[in-house]
Amino acid sequence: MASERILVVEDTPSVAKLVATHLEAAGYHAEIALSGPEALQRLATGPLPDLILIDIMMPGMDGFELTSRIRSDPRTAQLPIIMLTARDAVEDKVRGFEAGADDYVTKPFEAAELLARIRVLLGRSRAQRPPAEEVPSGAVIACFGLRGGAGRTVVAANLAIGLAEVCRTIVGACDLAVESGHLALALDARPAHSIDELIARYGVAFEQDVLEAYLARTDFGVQLLGAPRSPASAPLVSPEGARAVVSQVRRRFPYVVIDMAPTFSELTLAVLDVADLVLVVTTPEVAGVKSALAAIEVLESLGHPPEGLAVVVNTVFAGKALSRADIEEALGKPVRLFIPYDRVAFLDQLNRGIPVLRGAARSPAARAISEFAAELHSLFKREAKLVMGVVR
């Protein structure tokens, strides 16, 4: 492979250059170190080569010692090493292998033989190398919808709790209802910091340790990045900032549940664009159905895939409601989660800071949400989107 890097450790500059010339002619990228210490220095500070050629006889640190040092450092222990030497004594080969060399070539060498051995060794090490480290990426579930007061926030909070329960892992939550977010209330959390502070201070470039300091713990297996404390700070949450936040939060948790405002703002669009699943949360009455239809239409016209949408109908009022079947017919889509009205479970418990899934776990509403969480979990697991989080 043309771009593979080979480090040549050889104390005689002319020999080092000759070897490097052969390697470059064969399409490799060659680098030279004229001593053991120089090689170690390069390995410690620069990017790792794909293979190392080491001369045995060098003043100071010889090739045996260099090889065993490379092998004893976990960072370099797996690097393929070929020893190059003028001597063809059996005991040198044995010592070389004992020190950890993978192969051996005697000088004067035939370029063709050296290159053949390099190819074999590189091929073997490529085959053994674990696949390029994947950036863990949790599934992003956005609680959206255009109907005010449809219960996006309580759905977001309880779904996050349900997901944490079903996958026995801490789950992330992010409040992007930036002007009046109360996801913290629904999760009984008191975030010391909020998302606008994070973005104002760090912009779009921050690392996991910074993020960690901004996440609030809850008693329910959910960690929360809270909304701005004042609507005046909402504009600090730029679409780019929100996207950066979501992409960092999803590296941490198998699921990130996002609560959103009921508008198609730039911020909304930026977030919905990266969501794996958008829940269109609405209510079982005509206006609710209409706003769900409008939201779905806009999302689909923006190119959001139909399988990345799920309709959630939440009965936030007592009294006559449209039936699930009627709503499904009107929408031409299944209702994936139907939550019955439950004043005690939602209002009374919420005021006491107890989420439905904990305060009224046996209620039909809580059961429906828990079952939906389990369904989502098996769906995402099936799609191999789950990253391993921290076990509670």
Ligand X SMILES: Nc1ncnc2c1ncn2[C@@H]1O[C@H](COP(=O)(O)OP(=O)(O)O)[C@@H](O)[C@H]1O
Pick the piece of the chain touching ligand X (CB under 6 A) from 72-80, 203-211, 296-304, 313-321.
313-321
| DSSP letters spanning 109-135 | PPHHHHHHHHHHHHHHHHHHSPP-PPP
How far apart (Å, rounded) are the C-alpha atoms in residues 313 and 289?
Answer: 9
**Least separation in angstroms between CB 260 and ligand X:** 9
Q: What track of x and - describes contact with ligand X for positions 61 through 100 (by CB under 6 A)?
A: ----------------------------------------
Q: Which residues contact 126 (CB under 8 A, 6 or more apart)?
A: none
Residue 254 in tokens? 């198998």
Residue 9 interacts with, from Mg ion, ligand X, none (CB under 5-8 Å by kind): none
Give the footprint of Mg ion on residues 168-187 (CB under 5 A).
177
Confirm or reject binding of residue 363 to ligand X (CB under 6 A): no
Residue number closest to Mg ion, CB atom: 153
Residue 157 in tokens? 């909070």
**Least separation in angstroms between CB 365 and ligand X:** 5
Residue 346 in tokens? 């939602």
Give the footprint of ligand X on residues 204-263 (CB under 6 A).
none
How far apart, in Å, are the Cα atoms of 79 and each of 53, 54, 102, 107, 111?
A: 11, 12, 9, 22, 21
Confirm or reject binding of residue 343 to ligand X (CB under 6 A): yes
Confirm or reject binding of residue 153 to Mg ion (CB under 5 A): yes
Nearer to ligand X by Cβ, of 54 and 368: the residue is: 368
How far apart (Å, rounded) are the C-alpha atoms in residues 214 and 183?
Answer: 15
Quick one: 246 exposed, middle or buried, by C-beta within 10 A (0-12, 13-18, 19+)? buried
**Least separation in angstroms between CB 240 and ligand X:** 25
Confirm or reject binding of residue 268 to Mg ion (CB under 5 A): no
Confirm or reject binding of residue 324 to ligand X (CB under 6 A): no
Pick the piece of the chain touching Mg ion (CB under 5 A) from 144-152, 196-204, 226-234, 372-380.
144-152
Residue 150 interacts with, from Mg ion, ligand X, none (CB under 5-8 Å by kind): ligand X
Give the footprint of ligand X on residues 118-157 (CB under 6 A).
148-154
Nearer to Mg ion by Cβ, of 72 and 263: the residue is: 263
Residue 229 in tokens? 């404390």
Confirm or reject binding of residue 350 to ligand X (CB under 6 A): yes
Residue 159 interacts with, from ligand X, Mg ion, none (CB under 5-8 Å by kind): none
Order the strands of the 29-33 sheet from edge to edge.
29-33, 5-9, 51-55, 81-85, 103-106
Q: Are 372 and 334 in contact (CB under 8 A)?
A: no
Confirm or reject binding of residue 218 to Mg ion (CB under 5 A): no
Confirm or reject binding of residue 327 to ligand X (CB under 6 A): no
Nearer to ligand X by Cβ, of 149 and 334: the residue is: 149
Q: In degrees, to the nearest 5, what angle opens at C-alpha 377 toward C-alphas 376 and 381? A: 120
Q: For residue 333, give the DSSP letter.
A: S
Among 233, 314, 363, 370, contact with ligand X (rule: CB under 6 A): 314
Confirm or reject binding of residue 342 to ligand X (CB under 6 A): yes
How far apart (Å, rounded) are the C-alpha atoms in residues 290 and 327?
Answer: 10
Residue 150 in tokens? 């449809």
Q: Which residues contact 75 (CB under 8 A, 6 or more apart)?
A: 43, 48
CB atoms < 10 A from the CB of 346, how many? 25
Nearer to ligand X by Cβ, of 60 and 148: the residue is: 148
Residue 314 interacts with, from Mg ion, ligand X, none (CB under 5-8 Å by kind): ligand X
Residue 342 interacts with, from Mg ion, ligand X, none (CB under 5-8 Å by kind): ligand X
* Binding residues vs ligand X (CB under 6 A): 148-154, 314-316, 339, 341-343, 346-347, 350, 365
* Binding residues vs Mg ion (CB under 5 A): 152-153, 177
